[in-house]
Structure 1
Amino acid sequence: MAKWQSIFTTDKLYRAEIVKDFLSDQQLQPIIVDKKDSAYQLGHFEVMVTSDEVLRAIKIIENEIKFE
């Protein structure tokens, strides 16, 4: 069973989706974990990849994805 690690955290779902889609285009298999409390809308979203994809995913995020 693969171990998953968080590589990107945001409070905006659309940003998590952008990162997930970009990583998917690079042949990685990311998932989004919703850690928001539905009653209060507190929390965040995490994009996670398997532990063997962590370094590659972080480099892609740092070098290729920019949010203003």
Structure 2
Amino acid sequence: MEKHWIKLFATPNPIEAEIIKQMLEAHEVPAVIINKQDSSYRFGQIELYVHQSNESLARELLADSDYRANEEG
């Protein structure tokens, strides 16, 4: 992954990760999902990254959402 991207969120649920990504992008915060789950057994995490220049806004948006329990950092 390119430099200056920060892991914002991790979850085992791919749908949850996609919902958060869409919410961020609706607020013009580009986000990238990296699936680190094992493809056979579905253990591991799906990680969501944002560029460090958008980290503050992304964390605010995440804090205002219902996903505070899985927030990284």
Deviation at 1:66, TM superposition (A): 1.2
- Summarize deviations over 1:17-43 as a string: whole Å, max 9, x none: 110000000001001110101132210
**Which residue pairs with 2:44 in the alignment?**
43
Aligned length in residues:
66
Work out whether 1:21 is the aligned partner of 2:22.
yes
Runs (5+) with no aligned partner, structure 2: 68-73
The one-letter amino acid of 1:37's match is D
The one-letter amino acid of 1:9's match is A
Distance in 2, Cα, partners of 1:40 & 1:66: 27
**Which residue pairs with 1:7 in the alignment?**
8
The one-letter amino acid of 2:66's match is K
After superposing on structure 2, the runs of 4+ consecutive aligned residues of structure 1 that deviate more than 3 Å are none
- TM-score normalised by length of structure 2: 0.81
**Which residue pairs with 2:54 in the alignment?**
53
Runs (5+) with no aligned partner, structure 1: none
Deviation at 1:2, TM superposition (A): 4.5
Aligned-pair RMSD on alpha carbons? 1.3
